[in-house]
Amino acid sequence: MSKCIESTPRQDGFRMPGEFEPHAGCWMLWPERTDNWRNGAKPAQRAFAAVASAIAQFEPVTVGVSAGQFLNARHMLPAAVRVVEMSSNDSWMRDCGPTFVVDIQGSVRGVDWDFNAWGGLEGGLYFPWDLDDLVPQKVCNIERLDRYKAAGFVLEGGSIHVDGEGTLLTTEECLLNTNRNPQLTREEIEETLREYLNVEKIIWLGRGVYNDETNGHVDNIACFIRPGVVALTWTDDVNDPQYEISADAYQRLINAVDAKGRKLEVHKIYQPNPILIAKEESEGVDSVDGTLPRNEGDRLAGSYINFYIANGGIVMPTFDDPHDQLAMDALSQLFPGRKVVGVNAREILLGGGNIHCITQQQPRG
Ligand code: KQY
């Protein structure tokens, strides 16, 4: 049975675990909309399949797919990956999917936020988003998990990271944006996060990665490696627009203490060289009013921070860039005991996000 619960996770003793805690598996959605993914979404589907295969080495993966794409997805994905029919407006499970919470007995429940496609009618990335908004309910039904509905509160999973010990990392650019919860003050937003994720301390960064179309999701700029340890995207190039953003984030992080009163250890991960949309990439996307244009020469929000932490593994984006190996080496050192696997993620980046944005971990509980 899967029911909608009226109370909050905090009231019931549930908390959001860190991504580095054990997983029951990983959820994804299948890309197909041709106004976001070039060339009929075929290159993106190959990239999503590569991500699903990489994660499936470490833990069970389920991919939700439309009826029309079921057979194609089943064919392109390895047999170990479970494919379930699930309609959605696009394929960003991190953002439209449920956030899972656990209690001390090992029970797992979902949190179902309101989703408005990264800003609704004020700069959102597409309309409608009604099918995406149903994804948490569908996932919880399939898993027979009870669900908390955070009604009236807009949030995407990529806009938060937690350490599982009471600390949450987010950005002002996204959570305080007037296109998310304009009726709420910063304090009320913090209070809602405390209730639904059972955190104590919220560490606010300023902005996310330069040109990130999500209004600066934290999962592209910084993340917890484990409690007390954070990775941050970085450049030493003072002329790069990312420099000032990362420098500000660094200052905020080294001056913060977490919920347990610890100072944070901050590791800089050098970003890839600027990644620009090529002519043929731009031309492969259907131009549709109300969706973000993909113009030749526009800079994409490339970052190595957008990786997925699996049981015993890290699945990280690579870009055929000289910094790929540096980032891989850094993550290998930061995650001893996990095997780091790189997946070329340019096709995912062209759609506006990366590996973390298309995945959602379900904790083991
Ligand atoms: O989390 C993300 N980065 C999702 C971006 C959505 C892009 C839609 N075109």
> How far from chain centre, in Å, is Cα 263?
25
Tens digits of residue pLDDT in 32-85: 999 999 999 999 999 999 999 999 999 999 999 999 999 999 999 999 999 999
Instruction: Give the closest residue to 304 by CA, choosing from 322, 316, 320, 315.
Output: 316
For residue 232, is pLDDT > 90? yes
Q: What is the mean pLDDT of residues 21-34?
A: 98
**pLDDT by residue (tens digit) across 295-344?**
999 999 999 999 999 999 999 999 999 999 999 999 999 999 999 999 99
Using a 6 Å cutoff on CB, does residue 92 contact ligand 1?
Answer: yes
- pLDDT category, 289, cuts 50, 70, 90? confident
Taking 90 as the threshold, does the pLDDT of residue 1 lie above it?
A: no
- For residue 252, the model assigns a pLDDT of 99
> What does the mean pLDDT of the chain come to?
98
- Is the alpha carbon torsion for 77, 136, 220, 227 positive or negative? negative
pLDDT of residue 51: 99
Q: How confident is the model at residue 219 (pLDDT cuts 50, 70, 90)?
A: very high
91 Cβ closer than 6 Å to some ligand 1 atom = no
pLDDT-based confidence at residue 25 (cuts at 50, 70, 90): very high
Cα–Cα dist 159/172, whole Å? 10
Ligand 1 pocket: which of 96, 125, 294 to mutate (most atoms within 8 A of CB): 125
Residue 357 appears among annotated catalytic residues: yes
DSSP letter for 31, please. -
Q: Reduce the secondary structure of 195-246 to three states and give it as a string.
A: HHHCCCEEEEECCCCCCCCCCCCHHHCEEEEECCEEEEEECCCCCCHHHHHH
pLDDT in tens, 91-114: 999 999 999 999 999 999 999 999
Residue 257 CA, ligand 1 centroid: distance in Å: 30
**Number of the ligand 1 atom closest to the C-alpha atom of 92:** 4
Question: How is the beta sheet containing 61-65 ordered, strand by strand?
Answer: 82-85, 61-65, 23-29, 360-363
Read off the tokens for 50: 């590569």
Ligand 1 neighbourhood includes 98 CB (under 6 angstroms): no
pTM of this prediction? Answer: 0.98
Decide: 214 in ligand 1 pocket, CB within 6 A.
yes
- Distance (angstroms) between ligand 1 centre and the Cα of 103 equals 30
> Does ligand 1 have an atom closer than 6 angstroms to the CB of 353?
yes
Cα 28 to middle of ligand 1, angstroms: 13
Q: How many CB atoms lie within 10 A of CB 201?
A: 18
The residue whose CA has the least distance to atom 6 of ligand 1 is: 352
36 Cα: distance to centroid of ligand 1 (angstroms): 10
